[in-house]
Amino acid sequence: MDIKQLKKELGLKDKDIAEFFGLKHRSYSESSAKKRYEQAFINIYEFLKGRGEKNNKITPTEFD
């Protein structure tokens, strides 16, 4: 997954990602670390998504 796909999937803009990291939009846009912020955001999303899928699995014993 890349940042364009993730932003489209979640309906996010650069401003939203900047706020997530406690940055002003301009600081984020002009940052030399922008790619690292984006990759960190992707990693966090994928980690949480994986945890959610793991926790939402239903085992047959849950309904016995």
pTM, two decimal places:
0.77
Residue closest to 33 by CA, chosen among 45, 48, 13, 18 = 18
pLDDT, average across residues 5-10? 96
Residue ranges covered by each domain of the chain: 3-63
Of the candidate ranges 15-19, 26-30, 46-50, 53-57, the one whose mean pLDDT is the lowest: 53-57
Which of the pair, 9 or 53, is modelled with greater confidence? 9
Checking if the pLDDT of 60 tops 90, the result is no
Average pLDDT, the chain: 88
Residue closest to 12 by CA, chosen among 34, 42, 51 = 42
Predicted pLDDT at 50? 87
